[in-house]
Amino acid sequence: MSFNFRNVNKKIGFIGAGKMASAIMGGVIKSSFALAENIFAYDVSDDALQKAKNNFNINITNSIKELANSVDVILIATKPFVANDVLAELDGNTENKLIISIMAGVTTSKIENVLSNTSVVRVMPNTPAFVKEGMCALCGGTLAQDCDLDFVEAMLKNIGRTVRVDEKDIDIVTAISGSGPAFYYYIIDLIARAGEKLGLDYKTCLTLSAQTALGSAKMMLEGVQTPDELITAVTTPGGCTAVGNDVLKNSDLEQILDKTIKDTMEKARALG
């Protein structure tokens, strides 16, 4: 089956209708990548399923098998500890379908071992997808073709940016972008609280810190200048920023962040 990503008539099924699944649903429907009438969902939680139906006017199904028999593409958005149960219910119902998995730690080979002769694309998204600023890394299984990856990439660009990686590197991705939002929230909050200690109210400090992080990230993503060039552009020799830079350079911040990413990656690898 060829997954032409411009085909709005493609039927997409979501196993799991939680927050991340809903973020993706909202993105693909609002962008007209897919029509609401062609979106199907199943969840063990009736409340989550009904909420998704009310929010997006999608179709809901009573079982995984019913969903699988209704769609061309299946996105598995469940917790990894139920992967075996979900895959067992899909077994025998995925011929000529594309499987997309956002289950953390579940490899494409694990899915392929159950769902034989099936194209599988694994995705590591992150929570800024809720505000259409997500970062999704994707990798294909042994049977995934370029058209499968093109389809998934086009679909996920409706909630942010995408990159393609080798599956062997997906645990590094988990540490940087999957878990990364929590680390940035922590740093943004620390900067705001440092300002509060100096006398400015916390709400104003948090706005200053968060918006500055957002603007700085956007400038970096423009790709015109390197991080070092951007630092130089905002730093006057002997000025305020230079003093702050010296504090950072003389601290153990680099070692702390190295350990943060390394330990997170190792935990992700252990889960897999």
Tens of each residue's pLDDT in the chain, 272 residues? 445 544 557 899 999 999 999 999 999 999 999 999 999 999 999 999 999 999 999 999 999 999 999 999 999 999 999 999 999 999 999 988 999 999 988 999 999 999 988 999 999 999 999 999 999 999 999 999 999 999 999 999 999 999 999 999 999 999 999 999 999 999 999 999 999 999 999 999 999 999 999 999 999 999 889 999 999 999 999 999 999 999 999 999 999 999 999 999 999 888 76
Cβ–Cβ under 8 Å, residues 72 and 1: yes
Instruction: Give me the half-sphere count of Cα atoms (radius 13 Å) on the Cβ side of residue 235.
Output: 14
Distance CA 8, CA 28 (A): 10
Structural contact between residues 11 and 70, judged by C-beta atoms closer than 8 angstroms: yes
Domain membership flag for residue 76: yes
Domain end, chosen from 174, 189, 220, is at: 174
Beta 12-15 vs 73-76: how paired, if at all? parallel
Q: Which of 158, 174, 190 is the C-terminal boundary of a domain?
A: 174
Q: Are residues 33 and 155 in the same domain?
A: yes
Q: Establish if 230 belongs to a structural domain.
A: yes
The answer to whether residue 195 sits within a structural domain is yes
Q: What is the CATH number of the domain that holds 212?
A: 1.10.3730.10
Buried-exposed string 36-68: b where 16+ CB fall within 10 A, e elsewhere: eebbbbbbeeeebbeebbeebebbbbeebeebb
Is 154 in the same domain as 224? no
State the total domains in the chain: 2
Residues 105 and 211 in one domain: no
Same domain, 225 and 111: no
**Could you tell me if 129 and 263 lie in one domain?**
no
Q: Answer yes or no: do 41 and 161 share one domain.
A: yes
For residues 158 and 195, membership in a common domain is answered with: no
45 with 91, same domain?
A: yes
Is 65 within the bounds of a domain? yes
Q: What range does the domain containing 187 cover?
A: 180-271
133/209 same-domain check: no
pTM: 0.90
- The type of residue at 244 is G
Report H helices in 115-239: 146-156, 170-173, 180-197, 202-221, 227-234
> Buried b / exposed e across 113-134, counting CB within 10 Å, b at 16+?
ebbeebbbbbbbbbbbbbeebb
- Kindly state whether residues 150 and 98 are assigned to the same domain: yes
Pick the last residue of a domain from 174, 194, 212. Answer: 174
Are 154 and 104 members of one domain?
A: yes
Pair 25, 149 in one domain: yes
